[in-house]
Structure 1
Amino acid sequence: MAYHLTSLSNILSPLSLLLTASFSLFTSANPTCTYLEIPIHATASNEVFPIPTDLDYTSPAAISALIQTLIGDAVTTFPLKPTSFDGIVAARYCDPEVVVANRSDVIQLYMSGVTENNLYWFGLGYPNGIDGDMYSTVDFASKQGYPTLAIDRIGVGNSTHPDPITEQQVNLEEAVSHELVMALKAGTAVPGKVFNRVIFVGHSYGSVLGNAQATNHPDDIAAFVLTGYGVSTIPVAADLPQTLPLPAQTYDPGRFGSLQLGYLVTSSKPGRRGYLWGRPGSYDEAVFEKDFDDEDVVGLGELASIAGGLKEAPDSTAPVFIVTGDADDVFCLLATCGDGASSPQAQACSLFPKSEKCDYFIPQGTGHMVSLHYSAQESFARYHAFLAENGF
């Protein structure tokens, strides 16, 4: 049964009572964060996409049409090619400001969506985002006693940038995530820290990678929180053209001049607003402006391979909690997700048939950027309540 929208105070109070009753809390000053560069070697079989050698990278229409063709081609099976990654994953590890005894060996691993890096999880700024911690997933988790690791996916931020077409795809990125989880559990990712349970928290493409990890490595993750997530790529492709995708190197040579042509950005401010941000009045205009000004990149291979991550995970038993706004234009046609059993959120639970519990929350008036809307604190509270109820 799905959660229903209630006031934030009704969520925070039970959560606080649950924590106080179940654990001994010891407060410290603030979360202590450390910048890390984690070496990773991973291998996978990536798809070989038919990218025209004469693709007009100066044309957003040509780029969009190619992506729509590759995403929407459900009939063609593309050949696979062994591919490897050898590089670093940049990350910020944070010890929580509140110590909860049975959470010391649990870590929340954050995986951002396209054109976002680890700063998405800090409210677009480090150590504080816009309006302090209003939009900081890390800060909320810290107050509940969870260690966190917010990473730059390969190809964004300070992580190694592989080939954006042949290497930066769902299959290889999932393999990188798997190796990262193994390193967290072995104590080699965060010096001096061993984590026996990993909670995967994804946004958008990051959530798709979480789905892929549940499918390919069902024993990796103890619980999933998938935000900005749905089951169909049809809306993903349908409304992408409005963003006017362009090569990052030509759009902003000062920041991205060294990147290959297959690394893209959304060049249209109105298009990015319509695609990712939903209804006016559901977010702070200053947050939108900063997100547009500071956007990161997306690999053409990521967009082309996205359907490969939306598959049933038949052996994963981990609890799953889905948070997707009712005005999400990426996974819901016409930015209308609906409610109840017919919603993409509810349908997504069908991909986790053996999950101990799969549930969802639909923040009202909220677009794709779940953690950056006015509803962010309620979304944070909902998913942490779910984790607490399921033994985390």
Structure 2
Amino acid sequence: MRHAMRLLRYTSSLSLMLSVTLAAMCLTVMLFPGSQGVAFAQTRGVSCRTINVTVALTASGPHNQRIQGTLCGAPGDGGRPVQILVHGFTLTRTYWDFPVDNDRYSYVKAAIAQGYSTLAIDRIGVGGSSTPATVEVTLDSNVQTVHDVVRAVRDGSVTGSPVNRVVLVGHSFGSAISVTEAGRFHDVDAVVATSFLHTPGPGAGLLIGSAYPAQLDPQFSSRHLPPGYITTLPGTRSQFYSPKDTDPRVLAYDEAHKGTGTEGEIATFGAYLSPVYDALTVTAPVLFAVGSADAYFCTLSLPCTNGRLVAAREQPYFTDTARLSGYVLPGAGHNMALELNSPLATTAILNWINHPTRGVPGVGLGLPVTRALLSPFPHI
């Protein structure tokens, strides 16, 4: 009973934190020594190695934190364009190269086949990356650390030679981070934002209701994480999937290898939804991709019918000259890269990255929107 009451108080406090956040809206980088020495793993012509990048939590703060990632590409080709892959809340970098059913759920392998290198990172506070105090793990510190990674990729610290083209590919909260980074620093050539829109529906509360302290979860109890780190209650990962489009093995693996988030991220993510946040200053092309059955963003009142509609939903949060595109994966849930029909989305996304300023099959282009005629929150 005492444990149940503790969980009830905890989820109630998280719900209050989210409500307050939404209400408020409406009114020199270097690789860690030795990281170059990690051996490559050869898999069907793909070379992968673990890298660690030193980062700062703020623009003026010390570079005393670590972002860990997996760099993959064709052997001996350090000059390829690089896609930096930024996972979502309570996930890890494994999301992009999921070890179920061979390469079916590997965005990494598909991108490499198209001529890219990939750097899938564990966000700050997750997996192999540093785990600062929860008050230090926020939307802004995520943005700053990803920016430090972008700079390290650009100047060749990560790949061994300078990189001329860098694309950010995000999922869920990682998409909010990626769009914000692009708007704040203007240092990437394109952004793919999957499974995250500025207009969430009531289903977004599902995540808050399923969150509890990571220290109480058997998967994290031995890691001695700081207070305020959270994960999902056992047996609740199905909220991220569409039942008709999910392999049970994927759901089981996700449950057994879930990640963490922080109360600091929950308390600050709402800033991204504001129509006056950094998204307004994004100059790089942006593709918004969602699954039509995403419980968080696609509902009867907020339909995700097609890519053009998705791009139009996003247009009020950007300048009138922003180059936005949209894509909808039919029947897919929130973790769209792990759904049975995910290869369709992967193909569309990679085709768009290859030609982000012109139309490609299955991707809708946004239409000009008269901003003065729209509410900052069009779904209200």
TM-score range, shorter chain: 0.7 to 0.9
Q: What RMSD, in angstroms, separates the aligned Cα atoms of the two structures? A: 3.0
Which consecutive residues of structure 2, in runs of 5 or more, have no partner in the other structure? 28-57, 359-380
Q: Give 3-state SS (helix, strand or coil) of 1:360's partner.
A: strand
Tell whether the 8 Å contact from 2:176 to 2:196 is kept in structure 1 after alignment.
yes
> Taking structure 1 as reference, are residues 163 and 114 closer, same or farther at Cα in structure 2, changes over 3 Å only?
same
> Taking structure 1 as reference, are residues 253 and 367 closer, same or farther at Cα in structure 2, changes over 3 Å only?
closer
Report Cα offsets for 1:325-377 as digits up to 9, x if no partner: 01111223479633258955531244333666321111111000010001210
Counterpart Cα distance in 1 of 2:26 and 2:357: 43
Q: Give 3-state SS (helix, strand or coil) of 1:180's partner.
A: helix
Question: Where do residues 223-372 of structure 1 align in structure 2 (5 Å cutoff)?
Answer: 223-233=190-200, 235=202, 237-243=204-210, 245-252=211-218, 255-269=221-235, 271-274=236-239, 276-278=240-242, 280-310=243-273, 311=277, 313-333=279-299, 337-340=303-306, 343-353=309-319, 357-372=323-338
> Taking structure 1 as reference, are residues 87 and 149 closer, same or farther at Cα in structure 2, changes over 3 Å only?
same
Counterpart Cα distance in 2 of 1:81 and 1:184: 18
Q: Give 3-state SS (helix, strand or coil) of 1:264's partner.
A: strand
Q: 1:383 aligns with which of 329, 332, 349?
A: 349
Aligned pair 1:157/2:135, yes or no? no
Aligned pair 1:183/2:147, yes or no? no
Structure with higher RCO (Cα < 8 A, 6+ apart) = 1
TM-superposed deviation, 1:187: 1.4
TM-superposed deviation, 1:232: 2.4
> Taking structure 1 as reference, are residues 171 and 305 closer, same or farther at Cα in structure 2, changes over 3 Å only?
same
Q: What amino acid is aligned across from residue 386 of structure 1 in structure 2? A: W
Which residue does 2:138 correspond to in 1?
Answer: 169
Tell whether the 8 Å contact from 2:131 to 2:226 is kept in structure 1 after alignment.
no
Tell whether the 8 Å contact from 1:314 to 1:354 is kept in structure 2 after alignment.
no
Q: What amino acid is aligned across from residue 194 of structure 1 in structure 2? A: P
TM-score, length-scaled by structure 1: 0.74
Which residue does 1:91 correspond to in 2?
Answer: 69
Deviates more, 1:245-254 or 1:63-72: 63-72
Tell whether the 8 Å contact from 1:198 to 1:223 is kept in structure 2 after alignment.
yes
Aligned pair 1:198/2:166, yes or no? yes
Which residue does 2:91 correspond to in 1?
Answer: 116
TM-superposed deviation, 1:272: 2.8
Tell whether the 8 Å contact from 2:124 to 2:130 is kept in structure 1 after alignment.
yes
Aligned pair 1:373/2:339, yes or no? yes
TM-superposed deviation, 1:157: 0.6
Which consecutive residues of structure 1, in runs of 5 or more, have no partner in the other structure? 1-54, 124-128
Tell whether the 8 Å contact from 1:185 to 1:196 is kept in structure 2 after alignment.
yes
Q: What amino acid is aligned across from residue 284 of structure 1 in structure 2? A: D
Deviates more, 1:204-213 or 1:382-391: 382-391
Q: Give 3-state SS (helix, strand or coil) of 1:225's partner.
A: strand
TM-superposed deviation, 1:268: 4.3
Deviates more, 1:153-162 or 1:65-74: 65-74
Percent identity of the aligned residues? 26
Q: Give 3-state SS (helix, strand or coil) of 1:239's partner.
A: helix
Aligned residues: 321
TM-superposed deviation, 1:239: 2.7
Tell whether the 8 Å contact from 2:137 to 2:264 is kept in structure 1 after alignment.
yes
Report Cα offsets for 1:185-226 as digits up to 9, x if no partner: 111233x13212210000000000012112211x21100111
> Taking structure 1 as reference, are residues 58 and 84 closer, same or farther at Cα in structure 2, changes over 3 Å only?
farther
Counterpart Cα distance in 1 of 2:106 and 2:241: 17
Tell whether the 8 Å contact from 1:215 to 1:313 is kept in structure 2 after alignment.
yes
Aligned pair 1:104/2:104, yes or no? no
